[in-house]
Structure 1
Amino acid sequence: MGYCSGLTNLFKMVLLKFFQNGLQIFALLLMTQAQWLNWAIYKLSPSKLGYVQFALYGLMVFTYLFANVTPPGSPVTALFEPKINSQYMKRKDGMPRYCGKCLQYKADRTHHCSRCNSCVLRMDHHCLWFRNCIGFRNHKLFYLVCLYLTLYALTTVYSTFMAITKHFTAANGTISALYLIFWGSLFAFAFGLSIVMVAFTIYHTYLLLQNLTTLESMNSSWSKYAKSTQPFNVGLYNNWCQVMGSAPWFWFIPIRNSMGNGTVYPINPNALPYISTSEEKSETSHKKIPLPISYREDEWASDEEEYAMKSRRWNPHLGQFEWLDDIV
């Protein structure tokens, strides 16, 4: 019975992992199936393009897995300290931004991800296809996956179209119904994917060149900046190098060589003052500021202590309580 119970638990665990990583497994299966069909085309119509597609497939799978297992980075791992690192993004009262959920200070361009339940350095967005946040440490890998996939889809459209055309226009050429279904499906899938990925990659290339994240491009407060006053826009080349690295020969290779540590960024000399978001404005309310772990309402020993605790609030920036009467 114990053996059967162990196998049952193992099977349940495998199923749970499968469903948790369903999109990732599905993406890898699609890549592999497309490469299998492309290799079949190469066998019937050999060309140098087949080797290019195989190289793109290898880079695509490796980079995709690498991006999935690479943490985006957090202020804790970067050892962020606002007293040491000068920050551009501050609250309206001049204090450093503070996350009431992670109980830690936020570096520039850091945002809290509700799905990951942690703050992410230079957070771009949370991607379900990667089951991970796209941030400072894996943004380059994410971009390279998009680029590799775009090139792979375009080469697949070309090779499939040329193979079908060749077999239909040959003097004694015939093509079986099975091959026609496979190649026709691959062509339709690659054509649709190429349209989506070309637009997606162009959009993210534009964001890299403007030194914007997806969150910043969609933020109403951030949209008030012009290109010339955007705080982190330091020129097309410098913007690109911040994510892709300073060495051009490593730009399109899946290695982590982004500039900086994710907490401090070069500032545009023409930048306007930082415009706080509604979320950061609400942080000034004492109701949003977390109390120290040792503070518990059910541990009050007397009415006097209860009155004293309700008459003061915890200031995480000073590391001590403040009397409300003094603040008023």
Structure 2
Amino acid sequence: MSQWTDGLPPAAHERIARQHASGTTGSLFSAPAAAAAKSAGLAPVGEVFGSIAMNLGWSGNGCNYYGMRMGGGMGGFGGGLLGGNAFGYQTPVTTSGDHGGYAGFAPYVKAFEHGWHEAINRMLAEARMLGAEGVVGVEVTRVRIDASAYEFTAIGTAVRSVDTSLVARPKVQGEIWYANLSAEDVASAIHSGFQPREMALGLSVSTKHEDYQLKQQRSAWAGNQEIDGLTLLVNAARHDARNQLVARAKRDGGADLVITHQSVTEFETPCGEEVDLHAEAVFIGTILVPGPMRDFRTKDRPATAKVTTVLPLTDNDVRTRRR
């Protein structure tokens, strides 16, 4: 880490130096994407990349009962901790946001969020050194590289505004907007009076101990029926993750939030001779704010908008003779 400068490793500085020395501008744009960016007053200045390796563990001893007890709240659990599999007894669903920062999967979620945001921050540091003002088509990925170690990477095309009547430059020097929208979608937003500000992440892990009812419904001989506990588990994770995403957008003053990704994965962990079931929900979106075209688009009501008369470039006689 001591060899890093400007928040970037030596490899990143080498990439930037090569781009400057080459005199060419790289991008990840397709031909249609490049045309769309140009129509919105954006010019590419280079590809940018950020990476970080994180260990994603989780706190607790592998059993949701004790995790809830350590978190200082019961999450509606009630009853005794040892009666979870009594006939007819239903254990509650808790989420990583229920008990503060130390119970259940809360530390895992915080580590995930740190890796996700830090990969983006390092990508933005590269963009800043290239003189960019925004990054389009950002892709953030997570890949397991060892046991509980993951690499988070962020990649996109850095751009600069060449027409401030379409895209406003950042008010703070060095501030860079970024979006995981395609160049075509960014152009559509800009022409509609909006421009990207930043991406937002909503992440939650919900947990439910496998009670008697859930165990029976999951068995092979249970027949075709809803598994009530799993429905609650997935819905809780989705609800919590989406709420976090919306709260982030409101906190950052977004005018609109475009949800671009949502996913839910399920897994289980041992709890003595029983298991805890978990659902991980991830929501990602791009926050949009009013742009320079906003006033133009909302100046006139649609019913009274002033329209320039379109005149033919050839006279009627010429067009008549060609028929």
Which TM-score applies when normalising by structure 1?
Answer: 0.27
Question: Which protein has the bigger strand share?
Answer: 2
Instruction: Tell me the TM-score normalized by structure 2.
Output: 0.27
